[in-house]
Structure formats: C-alpha cells, structure tokens
C-alpha cells in the first residue's frame, strides 16, 4: 500500500469546531490539506453558496456536506418533517457545490430497529429523486452500536450495504467511518462487497481511545487509540477507492486546545498513521 500524503487529506469542519468557516478554510489550505467536509453549522454565517465560493477560492475541494438523515419517528408528521428537512439539506449541498451528503440515518428508542430501518428506507426513497436531479449523492453512514437507541438503526457495514443495494442507484452509497466499524469481524468482507457494488463513497478516519470517557465527544486523533488504520485503508483501497481520507474528530479534549496546534497534530498524524 502506498504511503499517504496530505493531497488526500480532508478535514470535517466539526473537527476544529472553535473555528468559523473562513478561519478553518484558511488554516487547512495553509497546512497543505486539500479537502474539506462542511457541517451545516459552518455555513450559517454566509449561507451555502457563499461558503462554496470561499472554499473554492482557497483551493480546497468540497468533499461532503454533513449531515442529513434522522428519518425515523413514531409519528408520520415527524417523518414528513424529516424528509422536508433532508430536501432542504440537498438544496444547500447543491448550492455549496458538495457532491454528496452524509446520512446519519436515525433511530427512535420508542420503536424497534426493524421499523426504524423501514422508515429510513422510505425516507431515502422520498429524497432520492431530488438527489438525482441535483447531482448530490447520499452516503449512508453506519454508526457504532452504542448509537442504536436514537442516532442510527444502521450499525454495521452489512446493514448499510443492504440498504444501499436496495436502491440500485449511483446516488446512494455508503460512508465508511473507522470509529463506528473497526470492531466488526465482517468488516473486510463487507468493505469489499461495498466497493464491488460501486457503493463506497467516503472514508472517515479518527481513532478509538481505549478509555473512552464520553460516548459522543471523546474520539481520538489518529494514533491515539487502538484502530489499525493502515489495515482498514488497505481494505478500502483494495476496492479501487482513491478518494479523500476524511478526518472527523468530535473531542471535548481536542476542541479545548489551541486549534493551530491541533491542526498541526492532525496533519502529522495523518501522514504517519492513516
């Protein structure tokens, strides 16, 4: 497997949450990072169209818009509202110039995971025509089982593959995030299946800290934890994937430090461990 360079490094704006969009763009570009995945909150000051101009002017490529999904609700009104919201997100992604949105598919603790998956399928079906019209892909991101209560009823690559394959559309695929999936004994096989079906749209990296102290905001910088990142990148690239490796870290610890220092740690860790 080839060594990796910053040419394939993309950073999610949430990773450097204390920075506004312009500050993030300027600093990522200066550090030699080539891609950016834009969280919705990062476009609030400028709107998505202007955000796209700022990013492209700095020479960064927009990799994804984050995040849609959250389709399941016990009420039909709640589900309809979620679909409307996702259509709005697709319009924003198109205005931004993002080629895909990431779907955190959702779950409800008040119904079974099977019902939630049915509602996810219905939600994706409802927004897919607009996605195709706008040319914005939908990347289903399986989430760690510890998020099955209320964030995602899709918790393994196998489930994400099943869902993506159901649609038989080049506009529905899967985002592989090591944080959620590293533990799965079927991961190599399911990544290969995903790639063979043309569904591998995105690859996200961070690390799993052995003593995780917060279920949401204690992700590790690559190298801080126990994930064998090179092994998993090898599986991803064996499918022919040549896209960005997207750094997506939610961390109260890292957000609390100087973000210039953190960005230098990210770029250093990226070339060494990803």
Round the CA-based radius of gyration of the chain to a whole number and report it: 17
State the minimum distance, in angstroms, from the CB of residue 247 to a copy of itself: 20
- Does residue 196 belong to the site contacting a copy of itself (CB under 8 A)? no
* Shortest distance (Å) from residue 95 CB to a copy of itself: 34
Q: Which helix (H) or strand (E) holds 61?
A: strand 61-69
In the bound state with a copy of itself, the residue whose beta carbon lies nearer, of 94 and 153, is 153
* Mutual angle of helices 187-196 and 229-237, in 10-degree steps: 30
What is the nearest approach in angstroms of a copy of itself to the Cβ of residue 163?
12
Rounded Cα–Cα distance for residues 241 and 121 (Å): 26
* Tokens representing residue 118 in the block: 């049915």
Question: Measured from the CB of residue 144, what is the shortest distance to a copy of itself in angstroms?
Answer: 7
166 binding a copy of itself? (CB under 8 A): no
Cα separation, 67 vs 89, in Å, equals: 8
Give residues 63-102 in contact with a copy of itself (rule: CB under 8 A).
none
Measure the CA–CA gap between 5 and 263, rounded to whole angstroms.
15
Nearest to 206 by CA among 226, 190, 187, 192: 226
Q: Which of 41, 112, 252, 264 contacts a copy of itself by CB under 8 A?
A: 112
Least separation in angstroms between residue 183's CB and a copy of itself is 4
Check if the beta carbon of residue 16 is closer than 8 Å to that of residue 259.
Answer: yes
Among 5, 41, 81, 212, binds a copy of itself (CB under 8 A): 212
The yes or no reply on residue 1 touching a copy of itself (CB under 8 A) is no
Q: Which is nearer to a copy of itself, 7 or 186 (CB)?
A: 186
1-24 burial code (b ≥16 CB/10 A, e <16): eeebebebbbbbbbbbbebebeeb
Sites for a copy of itself among residues 117-156 (CB under 8 A): 144-146, 148-150, 155-156
Number of residues that bind a copy of itself (CB under 8 A): 29
**Could you list the residues that contact a copy of itself (CB under 8 A)?**
109-110, 112-114, 144-146, 148-150, 155-156, 158-159, 182-185, 208-210, 212-213, 215, 225-226, 228, 231
């Amino acid at each position: 497997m080839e060594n990796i360079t910053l040419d394939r490094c993309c950073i999610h704006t949430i990773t450097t949450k204390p920075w506004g969009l312009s500050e993030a763009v300027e600093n990522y570009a200066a550090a030699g990072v080539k891609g950016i995945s834009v969280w919705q909150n990062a476009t609030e000051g400028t709107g998505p169209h202007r955000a796209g101009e700022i990013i492209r002017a700095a020479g960064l490529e927009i990799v994804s818009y984050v995040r849609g999904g959250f389709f399941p609700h016990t009420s039909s009104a709640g589900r309809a509202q979620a679909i409307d919201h996702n259509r709005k997100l697709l319009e924003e992604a198109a205005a931004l110039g993002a080629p895909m949105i990431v779907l955190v598919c959702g779950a409800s603790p008040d119904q079974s995971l099977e019902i939630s998956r049915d509602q996810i399928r219905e939600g994706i079906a409802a927004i897919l025509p607009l996605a195709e019209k706008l040319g914005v892909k939908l990347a289903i991101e399986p989430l760690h089982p510890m998020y099955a209560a209320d964030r995602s009823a899709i918790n393994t690559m196998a489930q994400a593959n099943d869902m993506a394959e159901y649609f038989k559309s080049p506009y529905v695929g899967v985002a592989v995030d090591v944080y959620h999936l590293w533990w799965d004994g079927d991961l190599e096989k399911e990544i290969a299946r995903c790639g063979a079906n043309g569904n591998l749209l995105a690859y996200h990296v961070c690390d799993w800290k052995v003593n995780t102290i917060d279920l949401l905001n204690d992700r590790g910088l690559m190298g801080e934890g126990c994930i064998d990142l090179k092994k998993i990148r090898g599986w991803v690239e064996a499918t022919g994937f040549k896209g960005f490796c997207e750094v997506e870290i939610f961390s109260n610890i890292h957000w609390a430090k100087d973000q210039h220092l953190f960005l230098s740690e990210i770029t250093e860790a990226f070339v060494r461990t990803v």
